[in-house]
Structure formats: C-alpha cells, structure tokens
Chains A and B, each alone.
Chain A
C-alpha cells in the first residue's frame, strides 16, 4: 500500500483510460532498471523483492528446522510443498476455480457498490432517511460473514446467490459507511459557494455533494474490495464443486494441508491485485485529486 504516493507523482500516466494505465504500469518495470535518475525507485523495487524473498525464506527455514517454541511449524506445509501443490493445481482445472471465485466476488462487490454508494449518498444527504434506516444497519454491521451462512442458505434459492450475498456483506458496510461520512463531511464553504451562485438543491447535490464525497467513497471502495475477498472462504463453504475458497475449505476437511496454504495465498494475491486495480480506476475517475496533498 505504501506505493500509492509514488503513483500519485505520475499524473499524466493515468489521465488516459484504464488500458493506458495498466500499460504504463507494465512499462514502468523496465524503466526501473534503465533510467539512471530512477535509481531510488530501483532500490525501492529491490527492497520490495527482498521482502518477499525474506518472507518465503524465513518460512521455509522455520519449516525445515521444525521450529517449535509455543508456535509449532513442524506440521506446517513449507513453501516448496505449497509450490508443488500450486504447480499441481494449475496443471489441472485451476481456471474454473479461479473463475468461479472471481465471478462471485465481483458480483457481490458490484451489488455492494451500487447499493452502498446510492444508499450512502441518500442517507448522508437526507437526515430523515438516516433516522429511519441507520440503527437497523448499525445492528447488522458487526455481524461477521460466517454468521450469515445459515440464513444465506434459508434466504436464497441456490447456493450461488447465497455465496454472492456473503461476499456482498463484506463489501457493503465499508462502502456504505464511507459514503455516508463522505457526504456528511462535504465542506460547508463549498455548499455556500453553490448557494451564492444560485444553484438549486439538485445542482448542489450533483456538482458539489457527490464529487465532494468521492474521496471517501473511493477509500470505501478499496476497503470493500479487500473485504469481499476476505469473505470468500466463508462464502464458498456453501460451494459444491468449484472455487478457491472451496478448495481451501475442502482441503481442511480432508486434512490435505499444502492446498490450504496455496488457497490462502491465491486469495491474498487476487485480493491485493483487485484492490490495486480499483485504486487505479479511482485515480482515473478523479484526475483533480492526484496531487491533492500539495495544496494542504
């Protein structure tokens, strides 16, 4: 996450569209090695690679020496075991699993975004609506996704929608709460600007309140994306055949440990990549915010 500020210093690269942004991201990799002035960046890149190397290296070491001091590593799958499980997994039907998980997360996330943002804007803007719905929502918010499983089975016609519901729950509340806070936190000064220029409620809402809430909505969307993945294993307890979370859960039931760790790592990886993509997409939507820090 600490790479965000350095991305912000490259506004031009993200001013086009998503494809350009993604392309430029790939372009940057050779840049790091070739351009002399970016030695600072190259060192940063190397440090980050080192961190991954150390992470897996220490883990491997702890497994090899069968580290056992309160925490027990002797039964833990080592990185090499996980790696061979991964190779094995990708030589079979990996894509079906990844695809089903991805679809569930994206569906749940999409519904959460639409509902969370629109409901959040309305609740933030209309005090009476907030009075009407806020307490029940607050009551539901702390309930962990796993507690929803029985109800998800009872409420939905098939397992698929139940799973989408669980991933939805993960993303919905952070998006909703950030949106409400965003709308309520819009600068009074800017609202006054609108009033003095003769803007109707509608224009104040559309051109001042909604864009003013965007930075908060954006952070809600990034957190929500992570949370959707967070809930995946829980969701796929309901799954019959496919899904990364399903494999993880199923391997636990059958005491086959390397695939569990593999599933965990794949979920972690896909979660970070999709959060990163959401963040980049948000940058494109808010070109006005790229170097906001400068004005403070």
Chain B
C-alpha cells in the first residue's frame, strides 16, 4: 500500500505550465470580442498559483484553455512541453458547481477516473479508500451526491481529481458556493493534501483572502480585455493554518493585493457604465 501511494504521488513531480502569447476571443455577429489578450507566464512544477481578479477578467477562460475546453485564438498552452488541444487526465479539474455524477455513490465517483483508465480493482479500492479517509468521507462512501452537503461534495470532487494523479490541478472557484466556516476548513484541507502531492495547482478565485492564504504566487488580472496585470509573491511560511489569517504579515499582504484589485474593479465598473 505504501508503495502504491508513493507511486501515485511520485508521478506528480511534473506540471510545468507554459502559456505563450495566449489570446482568446470570439466572433459574434461579425464582431470580434477579445476575452484574453496576449497572456504570457510560466508556472513551475509544484507551484500553487491563484488567478485573482474581478469578474470578466478572463480568469476562468485561462483555466478552461489549460483544461482544453477552449481553443486559443492565438498562442500556445503547454503542459510538460505538450501542446494542449483537448481535455485529458493529466489535468484534473474541480468545478465551481457541484459536479459529482448524481447516479454514482461517493466511492464510485472518486473511483471513476481510475476505472476508465483501466486501473485494477484492488488498486482502485486502496487508493480511493485512502483519499476518502483523508478527507473524512469514509462514512459516506455509499451515499449518493444528493445526500451530501456542499462541502462534502466539493471534497469528493477534489479527491476525484487528485486520485488520478494529475500533473496540474485546475480549480475554478471551487469553494465559492460554500459558507465561510466550511470554506476556511476546505482551504486548510486543500493545502494539507497538496503539501503531500506537490502537483501544480492553478486556482481561480475572486476572494483576496483565499488567494493570499493558498498561493505561492498570485496573478492579479485586469479587464478589457483580460490580461495579467501583475504577479505578487506570497512568501508566507508553509504549512499554513487558518490562524495565519490573523497575523499582521498576512493582513499587510491582503491590503497590498486589495489595492491592486480595487483599481481594476473601479476600471471595470466604470467601463460598464
């Protein structure tokens, strides 16, 4: 079992993400609207990155492009030097909406990725059991999604992506629908698991506190069209716990990012008027 897990984790020392001259837009009634304009960045394997910005800045669009749901208008997305053209198991995705398959139990949902990739039954069971236990869902293994709370569903969604040992984990505001207490718990839990796995994480959020708490680096995004405005290094010590949020250091970083975001939000609101 130990070896199995180790293999499962070992394979995750990957996850180099390179975005080169990425632009995304769409044509509607002959008018071209740009959503993202000339985005460039590189994320090192094992980095935890937050994309932070007001709505309409294209943060989800970046994530969807890395996932392979959206094709770039120009530019390239490379994960471990492979050009992304379609979704794949090397990039796990956790959606904002509850996305467990309603007709599968918690166990079957988490197991699904392993099953479709032909992992043997015994091995599947060990891995799924380990992760269920890790996020405190062992008791709910046979429950259907409608019987789980929002937080439980998101925990199951996270380990469903992780059990596949993706090189990059893409998270699109996964905690946005949860209440504040649950959200803090989930953030801590996520960091806890990530600490072991060290896969690259790209996490989209509009919650500044969340971004500062989780990230190694925050990419602050701007609007009209969406672009990366600046990057902020968060060199807070790890492992991080919720009480970190009460320290002066944290609050200062929070303030700094807040001011950056405020500028953009003002701009986007002025534009809408």
Contacts and interface: CB of A to CB of B under 8 A. Distances in A.
Asked if A and B bind, the verdict is yes
Interface stretch (B110-118, B127-135, B185-193, B196-204): B110-118
Nearest to A188: B69
B146 A291 contact: yes
Contact of B103 (A192, A198, A211): A211
A75 interface: no
Contacts of B161: 196-197
Given A208-B101, A295-B98, 8 more contacts: A189-B97, A192-B93, A195-B87, A199-B116, A286-B103, A288-B104, A288-B145, A295-B146
Contacts of A211: 101, 103
Leading 4 A-B pairs by shortest Cβ distance: A198-B89, A197-B113, A195-B87, A211-B103
Given A189-B95, A288-B103, A288-B144, A195 B86 contact: yes
A193 B101 contact: yes
A292 interface: yes
B99 interface: yes
Nearest to A286: B103
Contact of B164 (A195, A197, A286): A197
Interface string B83-111: 00011110111010111011110000000
B113 A198 contact: yes
Given A197-B160, A288-B146, A295-B146, A190 B87 contact: no
A287 B145 CA distance: 11
Chain B CB within 10 A, most for which of A198, A208, A288, A291: A198
Nearest to B115: A203
Contacts of B146: 288-292, 294-295
Contacts of A208: 101
A198 B164 contact: yes
B35 interface: no
Interface string B134-169: 000000000011100000000000001100100000
Interface residues of A, number: 26
Contacts of B104: 207, 288
Contacts of B101: 190, 193, 207-208, 211
Contact of B89 (A196, A287, A291): A196
A214 B89 contact: no
A287 B102 CA distance: 10
Interface of A: 189-190, 192-200, 203, 207-208, 211-212, 214, 286-292, 294-295
Nearest to A206: B116
Contacts of B69: 192
A272 to B, nearest CB: 28
B150 to A, nearest CB: 10
Contacts of B160: 197
A189 B99 contact: yes
Interface in B18-71: 67-69
Given A292-B146, A294-B146, A193 B116 contact: no
12 contacts: A189-B97, A193-B93, A195-B87, A195-B88, A196-B87, A196-B88, A196-B89, A197-B164, A198-B116, A199-B112, A288-B103, A292-B102
Contact of B112 (A197, A288, A291, A292): A197
Contacts of A197: 89, 92, 112-113, 116, 160-161, 164
A193 B103 contact: no
B102 A288 contact: yes
Interface centre among B86, B99, B102, B160 (most CB of A within 10 A): B102
B112 A289 contact: no
A294 B113 CA distance: 28
Nearest to A210: B103
Indicate the member of B112, B145, B160, B164 with the most A CB atoms within 10 Å: B112
A200 B116 CA distance: 7
Contact of B117 (A198, A287, A295): A198
A212 B103 CA distance: 8
A189 B145 CA distance: 15
Nearest to A291: B146
Contacts of A196: 67, 87-89, 91-93, 161
Contacts of A193: 93, 95, 99, 101
Contacts of B164: 197-198
B170 to A, nearest CB: 8
B151 to A, nearest CB: 14
A203 B116 contact: yes
B173 to A, nearest CB: 14
A107 to B, nearest CB: 30
Contacts of A195: 68, 86-88
A288 B93 CA distance: 24
Nearest to B117: A198
A292 to B, nearest CB: 6
A214 B97 contact: no
B215 to A, nearest CB: 22
B86 A289 contact: no
B77 to A, nearest CB: 15
Most buried by A among B69, B144, B145: B144
A137 to B, nearest CB: 28
